[in-house]
Structure 1
Amino acid sequence: MVMQRFNRRAVCLAGLSLLALPTAAMAQADPRVAEGDTRLLVEIEAGSETPFVGEMILVTITGYYDVTITLENFEGIELPNFTWIQLGRDVWSRGRIGGREFVTMERKLALYPQKAGVQRIGPFKHNLTLMEGKSDRFKHQVVSEQIDIEIKPKPKTNGGWWFPAKEVVMTDDWDMDPSRMANGATATRTIRIVAEGQPAEMLPNPPMMTANWLISFIAPEKRSTEITRNGPIGTVEWTWRLRPSNAEPGEIRAFRIPWFDTTSRHMRELVIDSQRVAFAAIEEDEAEENLGADLAGLALPALLGLLVPVAAILPGRRFLPAKLLGSRIARAFPSRDRLALELALWRRDVRAYRRHAGRLIRRSGASHEMLIADLDRSLYGHDGNETTAPNLRTIHRKLVASGALFSFR
């Protein structure tokens, strides 16, 4: 006997006596088993009479047995065009139905159709070893009926992403206020998605939380699946370590993850909010830039002090116009970032070195994305922390050899 139950339309047989039900199909008749002594019923539950591809269908297989069972096993379940998960162990119990005592076995499956069209569920076959009298044992097979169910193709969505679930909950946590971080601090962002009705491997991949102003590292994601009698509950957790690469604030853009609510039959979406990321103060930057400005300011008078006497003793030479002379002098000295970079290298200040190296690489017009990525891996790629001090001089030699640090602007 087959029972089908849907969200809005149910076929309820709970109030009927088991003895009044038609006899379930069996592989073979055995005179030692009376009619009605063994039955295998199947009940399906879905959000619609015509569920979509990838949507969970709950299947409950229930056996009612008024016989003495010594051994039992299900024959290999074959479900073409479905993937499936068994929802825990079989549950055995005793109870009375219509005045008769039955041993009841219940097995639950979560099915996920992989192909549209009319698909067949079952039949399921339960192999029993029964005992008659005190020692006579014989084999008996109970077979359920089969169910044909129509599966609709997954609907078209933006980007082709299809994520059906009963319910989805997302949390987005920061370990500090990312808009007012202490100078040089690294913020940790953790996003967790829990989906009822889908295993963890069906949940989305992490968004690309990157920007040219942002140092971003993502830890290995964590996925887990909890098996319940009402279906699997999948969880995925993503953790990023984030910091701005310079003193200028930036904003991480928002991300949207669409999903299909199998209860309401409507599309919904998870929204990962945009977030401003910035240091609360930039004293360290200003101090370094002021130092560079002071050095350049001292160098200019010194150079003029040397050039003026030399020019005065050269016969037939005229002074260059002040504007042109100033331009040539400016090109002859490194930029403030280059001076601050050398100072950071001398101090072994990893954070300051990364900040000024990033600016110089961008100004050089080189393939800065790759160079900055390599630099970040060397500086911060130690399992998301800085416990292992990088060799700044080795990194510096590589960047100098690439020509990316020679900026005089």
Structure 2
Amino acid sequence: MVRVAIWLMAVWLALPVWAEGNLTLTILAEPSAHRPVVGEMINVTIRAVYDRKIANEKLEIDPTDAFDWIQTRPDDWREERIDGLPWIVMERHLALWPKRSGPLQFGPVRHHLTIIDQRSQRQDVVVQAKPLTVSVGEFPALRGWHLAAADLQLTDELSTDAAHLADGEQVVRTVRLRAKGALPEHLPPRPVVSENWLITFAAPVERTLTLTAEGPVAEAVWTWQFRPHTGEPGMLEPVKIPYFNTVNHQIETVEIPPLFIGYASFYTGQVPRGRIEAGQVWLLVGAMMAGLIGGLLLAVTRYAPQTTRQAMRRFRARWSPWSWWAMWRARQRGDLLALRRLAEEVGASRERRDRLDRAIYGRPSK
């Protein structure tokens, strides 16, 4: 019996002591006009009210697989007067995101304290808060990624004009997605860009979380480098990103706009389309006249008498760069016979042909 009594005494001494006084701990959820759905942020406050001085403390929250959660600001310790008496108040603010639907529990929470009792002695106690029960609804029917946020903003930045790239140039596209009331891992994955006409390099995704006075803000940064295979322009289709707006409890959408990508040199070699400027009008008129004159010359050459055809051939030879280059080559080689024949074809002057005849035969031409 003595051994049993000693063992019971040892167990009793090892247990935390429930101190005298008023020590209360509660978990409070922020009231909402709507029933939260899976993935929607729930603001929670753990509130402690003590009438004893605290020498040391440690708050312990039971792990859970029903929620993701973070602490949104430092613990707030202060003294308040309640019913005319001084009390020590501690508040810890959390944000919870339910992972599934149904009745879910968060907690319990235990506060390990070292208090100063009425005899000015230190005393270790544990104050426990009952679990918080939350009824969570299903996420609205929606294909693809499920994202719930109080606000979703998207920005699209380009390093240069993607539709008029210099030959060989690439464009860097940076899309930033900012979700208020969400965690970075709640944001959707980066859209896949794969086109046969486009060389694409995607940098690693950057994800950050910022705690603001309005709550946590998650950000994802998607960066691509694009360079077309050829100069022919192409278009990337727009990408819609739906999300559940937790303010009005409706599905809304943000969009990555379409993007035209191509080399500027492609446009300079194309026939103008659409509205034609004044300079282009005169260019087209000149091209039409040149084609008309060329057709007439071709007809005259084919159907005119032999003398006319010879004159036309002589005209073409005289103004052809090839004929003059051939004459220069013959002169460089010293081939007087070839030079004389070419002079006849281009219609060189009589004086020049006589000089060539004297050089070849020793007499002027007849």
Would the alpha carbon gap of residues 193 and 130 (structure 1) be closer, same or farther in structure 2, given more than 3 Å must change?
Answer: same
Query: AA paired with 2:220?
Result: V
Offset at residue 77 of structure 1 (A): 2.2
The more displaced of 186-195 and 49-58 is 49-58
Matching residue of 1:164: 148
List per-residue Cα deviations over 1:140-159 (Å, max 9, x = no partner).
Answer: 22222333221112222123
Q: Which residue of 2 aligns with 1:207?
A: 191
Corresponding residue for residue 291 of structure 2: none
| Contact map agreement 1:84 1:110 (CA 8 A) in 2 | yes
Report the Cα distance in structure 2 between the residues aligned to 1:273 and 1:110, rounded to whole angstroms. Answer: 33
2:149/2:181 contact within 8 Å kept = yes
SS at the partner of 1:158?
coil
| Alignment partners' CA distance in 2, 1:219 and 1:131 | 57
- Deviation of residue 228 (structure 1)? 4.1
Query: Do the aligned residues in 2 keep the contact of 1:247 with 1:285 (CA within 8 Å)?
Result: no
- Is contact 1:47–1:262 with CA below 8 Å preserved after alignment? no
Secondary structure in 1 aligned to 2:231?
coil
Structure 2 residue 83 is matched with structure 1 residue 98: yes
Q: In structure 2, what residue type is equivalent to 1:157?
A: L
Aligned 8 A contact 1:253 1:273 in 2: yes
Amino acid at match of 2:246: T
> Partners of 1:118 and 1:97 in 2: how far apart?
34
Q: 2:20 aligns to what?
A: 33
Closer/same/farther in 2, CA of residues 76 and 279 from structure 1, 3 Å limit: same
Give SS of 1:179's match.
helix
Moved more, 115-124 or 169-178: 115-124
The correspondence of residues 264-303 of structure 1 with structure 2, limited to 5 A, is 264-282=248-266
2:44 to 37, 40, 59: 59
Identify unmatched segments of 5+ residues in structure 2.
Answer: 1-14, 271-366
5 Å matches for 1:97-246?
97-133=82-118, 135-159=120-144, 161-228=145-212, 230-246=214-230
Q: Percent identity?
A: 33
How many residue pairs match? The answer is 256
SS of the equivalent of 1:211 reads: coil
2:72–2:93 CA contact under 8 A, matched in 1:
yes
Deviation track 1:120-153 (CA, whole Å, cap 9, x = no partner) reads 2333221211112565111222222333221112
| Residue ranges of structure 1 left out of the alignment (5+ in a row) | 1-26, 287-409
Which stretch of structure 1 is more off in the superposition, 170-179 or 122-131? 122-131
Moved more, 260-269 or 62-71: 62-71
Secondary structure at the residue paired with 2:265?
Answer: coil
SS of equivalent residue, structure 1 residue 93: strand
Aligned with residue 253 of structure 1, among 231, 237, 240: 237
Normalising to structure 1: TM-score of the pair? Answer: 0.58
Instruction: Name the structure 1 match of 2:328.
Output: none
**d(CA) in 2 for partners of 1:46 and 1:200?**
25
1:68 to 53, 64, 67: 53
Deviations 1:257-300 (A, max 9, x none): 110000110001110011111111249999xxxxxxxxxxxxxx
Alpha-carbon spacing, 1:261–1:46, altered in 2? closer, same or farther (3 Å): farther
On the 8 A contact 2:54/2:113 being kept in 1, the answer is: yes
Amino acid corresponding to residue 125 of structure 1 in structure 2: R
Q: How many Å separate the matches in 2 of 1:260 and 1:266? A: 6
Structure whose CA Rg is larger: 2
- Read off the aligned partner of 2:123 and give its amino acid letter: F
- Scaled by the length of structure 2, the TM-score of the pair is 0.64
CA contact (8 A) 1:117 1:150 kept: yes
Contact 2:154 2:177 in 1 (8 A): yes
